[in-house]
């Protein structure tokens, strides 16, 4: 992924998706927004204690940088589940989706920017350039255990007729295994699913593991039928890179949110 700047927005651009040239997408950093510490400065998460006015200013700045409007930027009330919102027709009021509890958004509507807000969890973006449909998914440990990435691919296939082999995927920056220690209940959640993704948690001291969320989601995307060469993952750990990214764990919970966003042209 390449660091880019469009308008005031500094973001990582996944090259595979950009090369398809049918959408704009990226993973934002914390630079050049209007929020004050500890939300400095491009806090895009409405579910924080930051001033709603500043968050709206930041979200507007993002939308405008890519040629759309604040009222065309769709985010949802993320709850670490696997429900996915599909938008397949223009809607007069995208803002009401902010209250909808789900962890993925899919759309085939050009000019509608869909986003997932994160500060440790992984944002996952999907693009099917053949059918003209995009997805943004929220993959924390709960969502990863419950296979949100696989369900995102299945939703594209089931709702929009996508072929998994046509889908391009980008896994954005999240907390790396270096900083993501988890305990037994987390491992149990994975084991209960019976999907084997707990193998991406490396045993540390007794009762502690280091979970590699990115590797688990990349594997899940492959298991869903996406070709290895069509998946681009980022190696940056948001906790290790304080200057660039918010991290919920590192900052003790009181911090901003970066966003994985994608929009069909």
**Residues of this chain that bind Zn ion (CB under 5 A):** 176, 178-179, 237, 239-240
Close Cβ partners of 86 (under 8 Å, ≥ 6 residues apart): 105, 106, 107, 155, 159
CB of 240 to Zn ion, least distance (A): 3
Q: Which is nearer to Zn ion, 33 or 176 (by Cβ)?
A: 176
Coil, helix or strand at residue 234: coil
Query: DSSP states of 66-92 as a string?
Result: TT--GGGEE--B--SS--EEEE-S--S
Query: What gap in Å lies between CA 221 and CA 179, rounded to an integer?
Result: 23
> By C-beta, is 51 or 241 nearer to Zn ion?
241
Residue 214 beta carbon to Zn ion: minimum distance, rounded to whole angstroms: 12
| Token couple for 201 | 């948690």
Q: Which is nearer to Zn ion, 160 or 180 (CB)?
A: 180
133 or 237, CB closer to Zn ion?
Answer: 237
Q: How far is the CB of 70 from Zn ion (least distance, A)?
A: 33
In whole angstroms, give the CA distance from residue 129 to residue 204. Answer: 41
CB closer to Zn ion out of 179 and 227: 179
Nearest approach in angstroms of CB 164 to Zn ion is 31
DSSP strand pairing (181-183 vs 258-264): unpaired
Q: Shortest Cβ distance from residue 242 to Zn ion (Å)?
A: 10
Q: Give the closest residue to 119 by CA, choosing from 52, 55, 182, 43.
A: 43
């Amino acid at each position: 992924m390449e660091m880019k700047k469009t308008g005031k927005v500094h973001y990582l651009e996944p090259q595979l998706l950009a090369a398809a040239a049918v959408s704009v997408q990226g993973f934002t950093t914390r630079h050049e927004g209007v929020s004050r510490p500890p939300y400095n400065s491009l806090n895009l998460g409405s579910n924080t204690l930051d001033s709603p006015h500043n968050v709206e200013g930041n979200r507007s700045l993002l939308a405008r940088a890519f040629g759309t409007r604040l009222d065309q930027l769709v985010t949802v009330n993320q709850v670490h589940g696997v429900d996915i919102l599909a938008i397949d027709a223009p809607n007069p009021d995208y803002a009401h989706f902010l209250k909808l509890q789900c962890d993925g958004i899919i759309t085939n509507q050009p000019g509608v920017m869909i986003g997932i807000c994160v500060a440790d969890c992984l944002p996952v973006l999907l693009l099917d350039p053949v059918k003209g449909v995009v997805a943004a998914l929220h993959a924390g440990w709960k969502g990863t255990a419950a296979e949100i990435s696989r369900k995102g691919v299945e939703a594209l296939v089931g709702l929009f007729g996508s072929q998994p082999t046509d889908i391009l995927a980008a896994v954005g920056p999240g907390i790396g295994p270096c900083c993501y220690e988890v305990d037994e209940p987390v491992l149990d959640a994975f084991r209960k699913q019976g999907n084997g993704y707990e193998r991406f948690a490396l045993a540390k001291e007794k009762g502690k593991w280091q979970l590699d969320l990115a590797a688990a989601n990349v594997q899940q995307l492959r298991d869903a039928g996406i070709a290895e060469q069509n998946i681009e993952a980022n190696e940056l750990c948001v906790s290790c890179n304080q200057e660039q990214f918010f991290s919920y764990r590192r900052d003790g919970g009181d911090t901003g949110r970066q966003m994985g966003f994608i929009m069909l042209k």
